[in-house]
A = this chain, B = another copy of it.
Amino acid sequence: MAAPSGKTDVFQAIADPTRRQLLSMLGEREMPVTVISGHFPMSRTAVSKHLRILADAGLVKERKIGRETRYRLEPEPLLELKRWLAYYERYWDNKLLALQRFVEGDETDGTISLVASEEDGTRSAE
């Protein structure tokens, strides 16, 4: 499960479904490893390794209390994801996209005409 190396990328960190579940679970409340791993079908050690990866990505913070280590969500690194995603917002209100495809459609064999996207039934010139 990834060398315990430092600094994992946030995209990488959230790629795994188990880790996403961990995040949502730790968002609710801070929890020690044993309790956390009780919710998963894998060994405690495996969960522990996932937690390390999340920690390396800064998505989770640990805090020792007596003999147990509690983990909690640290949402800040998700902002990077948010920023990345923000770039693509421009494609959702798809005026730009429609225009772009119109232009591209032009320099081909003509088979493609500008069929607009699903939610824009208005405009399907032919």
Contacts and interface: CB of A to CB of B under 8 A. Distances in A.
Contacts of A27: 88, 91
A46 interface: no
Contacts of A66: 109-110
Contacts of A108: 65
Copies in the complex: 2
A11 interface: yes
Contacts of A119: 39
Contact of A91 (B73, B112, B115): B73
Nearest to A12: B15
A92 B39 CA distance: 26
A24 B119 CA distance: 14
A38 interface: yes
Given A65-B109, A81-B85, A109-B65, A120 B35 contact: yes
A45 B42 CA distance: 36
A110 B35 contact: no
The 3 A-B pairs with the shortest beta carbon distances in the complex, nearest first, are A15-B15, A75-B91, A66-B110
9 contacts: A27-B88, A27-B91, A28-B117, A29-B104, A38-B122, A39-B120, A66-B109, A82-B85, A85-B85
